[in-house]
Every structure is written in structure tokens, then in C-alpha cells.
Amino acid sequence: MEMVKAVNLKKYYITDSYEVHALDGVSLTAEEGEFLAVVGTSGSGKTTLLNMLGGLDVPTSGGVWIRGNSLKDMEKEERTIFRRRNIGIVFQQYNLVPVLSVYENIVLPLQLDGAGIDRELLKEISEMLGLEDKMERLPETLSGGQRQRVAVARALLVKPAVLLADEPTGSLDSATGMEVAGLLKSCAARFHQTVLVVTHQEGVAQMADRIIRMEDGRIRK
């Protein structure tokens, strides 16, 4: 089943003095349960692509469909609710709420949506990411790597149809990073999730079912 479709995505930034083509006609599809890695040099358009697929930004032209739903045809609030229920996102900068505990940060999306918490899955994820003894701590007491693990756990617990991760292993040591990548891959299979991971780590990319290589805002053939 086709879970993600992007058609001729373009994102241009235009001023009086310059024009940047962050995305310049990107089209792709991803199937249910597929694990994809997006690789490329800095400025190649990887993060911009994930922002478009996640409904966090609006393209200059082109469109994105998730589960057959067109993101560009949704109002802002409708798109926000759709994203919360269908798309999990792991950001480079964690985006944790500083006044909430680790546990509260992880379950926050479910509480915002009035959904129940899968305690068994929460236990499995927290043990895998080494968070089981840190649930009552605040983000400021954690290392950068630990904060990234909380962000990954928060995205996984929602069991989204699509999981987008921007360098989710970038602040982790190699062994933990590969474990996190393995968890993302196993969740893709277990929950029939489509997972797209932006990464600079070749080992993570090689775990993917398919590698998408970007250059100058385009997918390199």
C-alpha cells in the first residue's frame, strides 16, 4: 500500500538579490512498512524534504499525500491534527518541553489527542533506549544523547503510519545509534510504519530498504 507520495515538490526562497531552490522538483513514493534513508551533503534539501512530507512547511508548488490525504488541501489546524495522529517526527533539536518530565514528554502527543497509552510498548521503548530509570527527570538534567532518545521514544509511542526522523542518531554513540536505527526498522515492520530517516551515518543508511540520495534540491539518479 502506498503510504507517502510527493509529486514535483518545489521550495524556492526568493529575495531581491538571490533565489535558492531548496527543493527543485522532487517526486517519490514510499510503501507501507518501508524503511528509507535520505542522504546527501549539507544544503542538499534533506531536511526541507522531511518538513514538506511532515506538513511542517508548505511547498512553493507540488504536493504531498499521506495515506491518500493531500496535505496542501488541509487548513492549518486540520493539518496539525492529521500530523499528530498519523506522522511521528524526530527533530535534530529534540523539541522537548523543559518543564515536563521525560515520561510527560513521551506521552504528551497521546494526551493532546485524548488517546490511551500502550504501557507495554512504552516499557519496551524505554528499556531499549535506556530511559526506564529517567522517567521522572527533566530534560535539562539529561545529556544531548539522552534527550534525543526521549524524542525518539515520543515519536514511536504514537505508532504513527509515517515516521520522519532528522538525524535521530546524530548525537548518540555508534553502538546506541545503531540500536536506535534497528528499533526504527523493527517498528516499521511491527507496526507497518513507513520510516524515512535523514542520516549522515553510512551504517544507518545501509540498514534501509532503499536509499534516497539528494543533491542540490533534487534526487540524484
- Cβ(147)–Cβ(139) below 8 Å: yes
- Cβ(38)–Cβ(198) below 8 Å: yes
From residue 22, alpha-carbon distances to 14, 39, 92, 178, 198 in Å are: 11, 15, 18, 29, 15
pLDDT at residue number 1:
84
Positive or negative, the CA dihedral 72, 76, 77, 79 is positive
Q: What angle do CA 196, 169, 181 make, to 5 degrees?
A: 55
| 212: β partners | 38
d(CA 134, CA 9): 41
Positive or negative, the CA dihedral 173, 42, 182, 84 is positive
- pTM, two decimal places: 0.87
- Cβ(164)–Cβ(90) below 8 Å: yes
Give me the number of domains the chain comprises: 1
d(CA 65, CA 157): 23
d(CA 175, CA 169): 10
* Domain extent at residue 80: 2-219
Strands 210-215 and 218-219: antiparallel
pLDDT at residue number 187:
76
Gyration radius of the chain's alpha carbons: 17
pLDDT averaged per 10 residues in sequence order, the chain, 221 residues: 95 88 96 94 92 94 96 93 90 89 96 91 88 96 88 89 89 79 81 89 91 95 73
Give the CATH number, domain containing residue 89: 3.40.50.300
Strand order from edge to edge, sheet including 162-166: 87-90, 162-166, 194-198, 35-39, 210-215, 218-219
What DSSP assignment string belongs to 89-145? EE-TT----TTS-HHHHHHHHHHHTT----HHHHHHHHHHTT-TT-TTS-GGGS-HH
What is residue 10's three-state secondary structure?
Answer: strand
Dig out the grid coordinates for 4 from the structure: 507517502
pLDDT at residue number 218:
96
pLDDT at residue number 124:
87
